[in-house]
Chain A
Amino acid sequence: MFDSTQSMPSGSGSLRPSRRAFTLGAAAALGAARTGGLASAAPSPSGGSRDTLVLVYLRGGLDGLSAVVPAFEASALQAQRPGLLVPTSASQGAVQLDGMFTLHPSLAPLEGMFRDGELAVLHAVGSQDPTRSHFAARRAIDAGVIGQAVSGTPGGWAGRALRRVPEAASNAPRGLALGAVLPRTLQGGPRVIPVNDPGNFADYGDASTSARRRAALAAMHLNAIGAPGSQSVRTRVAQSGMSAVAALDVLGGIDFGRTPAPLAAYPDTLLGSRMRDAATLLIENIGTEVIHVEHGDWDDHDDMGPNSGDLASRLDDLGRSLAAFRADLGPDLDRTTVLVYSEFGRRVDENGSRGTDHGRGGVAFALGGAVNGGQVFGTWPGLVPAALEGGALAVTTDLRDVFAEALERRLGLQNAALAFPGHSHTPVGLFS
């Protein structure tokens, strides 16, 4: 019944002027605070049209039906989750998106970006792998393949893409995960590194031996790469040591404690600080191509709320963090694409704990200067029992198609099949 896929040519056009106006206003506000520095290292956004891709992974399975409510399905929702209804009227704080879908009141900070055509919503999106295991679902999404191929395909889709796009003339990490663990998404890529605390990454040890130690450290890792009989674990340690030595220099020159732009009110949360660090990396323009942020825990098996309590406060955190990030970036949004996604949505029916169990289709968000924002993408599969996939919203848009489009249109990858082996890309129409 509902199909907004592929093209929305006329509707989004009218939104352009206001978006530009916002961009220019923010640029003017930021002008004084920006201090070029490393700006020359990265590819020109206007020339090569290469963005930095910011991946925000919501761990645990975000309930898409609470975040972006299909208001036109009120009776189905009432029947299947009577205790978990999210208001859809403007008077109760819901944001009207397109006459069919409304944003959870706690996501109200996203409204301006949606209206300005910078933010798009994707619904009934997910993996083609039917698993309901968090870990298997996440692995499939991160690996960029499904089913048996997940264990037989090393590395992740972003790591694979980075190997195939031209390298910027910079020592910066090409893929940087703001966290302690390198996600599978980036594994296998060149100069990919997790950084848990970027502001405290670079300087350590006694100054009198610092330069000599740094040189010895580089030599040790270089020698270990070249040592005879190198084995995989050792080689990986040596290579990542080289990346880390290089990153010490690049990240050491960045002030992560900078004052954000005046309108960028980051919440005092882990996600807020991660997004602020991501904005710093973008504004400094060091040439990092993929930034990964992880945020949890969205596994709402019990006491989901959804209008007060944990889910609502997480949505509030997400909305405010993204809005602050956008305000902080100002004109740099034009060379940025943010994709927000989770490993699956949740079942339509509520369980015995006022929560929901693992489902299938969920929501994703895309934010960026080139995003065809202001609309909800997707083919709506419906909530009648026959349309459900084992009690859950079906998946009609493959997340791989969303990622693939970002890689081809914004990261400069010629052919997304290089990142998603065996997958043939169906256009989503997410970018202008």
Chain B
Amino acid sequence: MQTGTTSGIDASAPTRSGTTASASVIGAAGLRRSLMARATFGHRREDRAELDALGQDAWLDLQLQPELIDDSSMDARLGAYPWLGVGAVQGMDSATLRQNYGGGGWRLSEESKSVRILRAKDSRRQLFERVVDFWNDHFNVPFTAQDANYLRPVHEERVIRRHAFGKFPEFLAAVAMSPAMGAFLDQDSNRAGLPNENYARELLELHTLGEGNGYTEEDVREVARCFTGWTYVRHWEPGAFGTFRFDSSVHDQGYKTVLGRLIPNGGQLDGVRVLRLLALDPRTARHVSSKLVRWFLGEDAAAGLVMVSGQSIVDRVTGVFLATDGDIRAMLREILSVESLRAVQPWRRRRLKQPFHFGMSFLRALEIEITNPSTAVYGLAGLGQVPFEWPDPDGYPDETDAWASNLAPRWRFASAILNGWTSWSSVPSGKLASFCQGVGPEAWGRCVSAALTGGEMDTSDVEAIQAFVDGAPSTPGAADLLAAFELGASSPSFQTI
């Protein structure tokens, strides 16, 4: 496994193109760049230095144990959001909620998005944050409905973040009891005799087995019956607002049959039995594994087209899921292993950054300050992707075809920030020049590539930027350097990892 000490080919790496490299010649530094690109929200020089110092395996080990990573400056910054981590909204009456967080919970919504942006950009637990984004889509709950608005932060802090690196069956059970999910998918009104199948359908289709994967419409109805009575305490009900509650008075007492299995009436146990049945089903293992593989390694790998030791990466990760009872960390270790990365040949099989990822990678690489996180949310809206705003339970589409054609807003985003035209970001004067210290205009193209990606940009992009600089009507100056960075952020290769 230890490849961190070999080197020598790295000199070939400041640029890349599809034909020059092959699996046998990619060097340790090339693999480290790929790992940084895929496991984080993008290259940043201090993180890259740490990866180089630790080596690939040790760095991945550390990232998989976020509790060992000192993130105190992040924690200090998040002190501005007192509701974080304490589940402050649970147990409050509606008048207090309204008073503290605005009617409809708009302030919780805005601040949750701000916190998401800050963590994605600046947390040192980068792999964890990338995985949190994955699960936020997999178990999507948007800020839409009244109660879901108040309870979405609880879903984030107590469900998603608590289990993102945990075991899938426990995660699934926590989601099933998450009041925000219950509010979003109508569990509060799923009652005996009048079942509401909203949650049941998405449990089968999105959370576990996968669309059309061996269940019937009848199964959907039966699963809905099993979950009758799984609700949460609403404002007007006795008990602590927003906590899970099983209401046996509306539970369907009859026998149910799910996936051919008889479920005798067991009250709340009916739902628990369904979750157990689904969580470790091989089809669930494959569905979740292939989505996770797609998240980090792209569409070819997710389609089972990339092999390691004669077995597709999806098969291998599915095997890990089944062997470890859904241990998410073990799956990640397999996905981001040196063997997987070598097999994927990341320089050849690009993966498109989604807009949020693009925005974060740009801000990270150039160490741009977010001075006003709540208005940064509107900056991301221009890109087309704001955390927690995908309205449907399937989460933002992780498909090249959905995002590849929406490039112009990315160009505008980078340009507005670099020119200092946003109300929420700041590029200190001299910042861009600091990346190209001692580098003359004749090498600004490579300097931009190094700053934005650690030297990952395609040769053709670097050459086009250099040609732009060389074509300046007079001696290239600060405006040309700024424009070179705009072009770098707009380049085809900066849109992919």
Contacts and interface: CB of A to CB of B under 8 A. Distances in A.
A212 B483 contact: yes
Contacts of A240: 404-407
Contacts of B173: none
Contacts of B385: 180
Given A220-B464, A237-B352, A238-B492, A212 B196 contact: no
Contacts of A230: 18
A295 B116 CA distance: 26
A193 B406 contact: yes
A132 B458 contact: no
A59 B392 CA distance: 9
A39 interface: no
A195 B464 CA distance: 26
Given A221-B492, A236-B401, A209 B479 contact: yes
B298 interface: yes
B467 A216 contact: yes
B194 A351 contact: yes
Nearest to B402: A181
A220 B19 contact: no
B189 A353 contact: yes
Given A135-B211, A206-B419, A201 B408 contact: yes
B401 A301 contact: no
Interface string A191-232: 011111100110011101100110111011101100111111
A352 B191 contact: yes
B18 A228 contact: yes
Interface stretch (B29-37, B253-261, B334-342, B409-417): B409-417
Interface in B121-178: 144
A410 B483 CA distance: 45
B483 A234 contact: no
B17 A181 contact: no
Contact of A231 (B186, B198, B350, B467): B350
Nearest to B187: A353
Contact of A196 (B220, B299, B384, B495): B384
A239 to B, nearest CB: 8
A244 interface: yes
B406 A234 contact: no
A182 B405 contact: yes
B415 A197 contact: no
B327 interface: no
B403 A181 contact: yes
B139 to A, nearest CB: 15
Interface in A280-322: 296-297, 301-302
A236 B404 contact: yes
A204 B490 CA distance: 12
A231 B404 contact: no
B294 interface: no
A333 interface: no
B298 A223 contact: no
B214 interface: no
Contact of A243 (B405, B416, B487): B405
B205 interface: yes
A302 B382 contact: no
B234 interface: no
- Count chain B CB atoms within 10 A of each CB in A192, A224, A228, A247 and give the residue with the most: A224
B415 A205 contact: yes
A184 B468 CA distance: 36
- Count chain B CB atoms within 10 A of each CB in A196, A215, A220, A238 and give the residue with the most: A220
B479 A223 contact: no
B412 A204 contact: yes
A334 to B, nearest CB: 30
A213 B486 contact: yes
A401 B480 CA distance: 55
A358 interface: yes
A390 interface: yes
- Count chain A CB atoms within 10 A of each CB in B194, B195, B464 and give the residue with the most: B464
Contacts of B491: 220
Given A234-B492, A357-B196, A194 B384 contact: yes
A296 B144 CA distance: 12
A75 to B, nearest CB: 21
Contacts of B298: 233
Query: Size band of the B side of the interface?
Result: 35 or more
A329 to B, nearest CB: 27
Contact of B193 (A197, A228, A352): A352
Given A136-B211, A224-B492, A237-B496, A194 B406 contact: yes
Nearest to A224: B492
Contacts of A197: 382, 409
Contacts of A144: none
Contact of A237 (B348, B415, B487, B495): B495
A87 interface: no
A196 B410 CA distance: 12
A88 interface: no
B201 A358 contact: yes
- Count chain A CB atoms within 10 A of each CB in B144, B193, B465, B495 and give the residue with the most: B495
Contacts of A209: 479-480, 482-483
Interface in B363-402: 382-385, 391-392, 394, 397, 400-402
Given A132-B217, A237-B492, A247 B464 contact: no
B449 interface: no
A257 to B, nearest CB: 17
A246 B185 CA distance: 42
B212 A133 contact: yes
A228 B17 contact: yes
Interface in B190-231: 190-191, 193-198, 201, 205, 211-212, 217, 220
Interface string A131-155: 1111110000000000000000001
Contacts of A133: 201, 205, 211-212
Nearest to B460: A223
A126 interface: no
Interface of B: 17-19, 144, 186, 189-191, 193-198, 201, 205, 211-212, 217, 220, 298-299, 348-352, 355, 382-385, 391-392, 394, 397, 400-409, 411-412, 415-416, 419, 458, 460-461, 463-465, 467-468, 471-472, 479-480, 482-483, 486-487, 490-493, 495-496
8 contacts: A182-B404, A200-B382, A224-B460, A231-B18, A234-B350, A240-B405, A244-B405, A352-B195
Interface of A: 59-60, 131-136, 155, 179-182, 184, 187-188, 192-197, 200-201, 204-206, 208-209, 212-213, 215-217, 219-221, 223-224, 227-234, 236-238, 240-241, 243-244, 247-248, 296-297, 301-302, 350-353, 355, 357-358, 390
Given A196-B382, A216-B467, A229-B348, 19 more contacts: A132-B220, A135-B211, A180-B406, A181-B403, A193-B405, A206-B482, A209-B480, A209-B483, A217-B490, A220-B491, A227-B18, A231-B350, A232-B400, A236-B404, A240-B405, A297-B391, A301-B198, A351-B189, A357-B197
The 10 closest A-B pairs by CB, nearest first: A229-B18, A352-B194, A180-B384, A353-B189, A223-B460, A240-B405, A216-B468, A229-B19, A209-B483, A233-B350
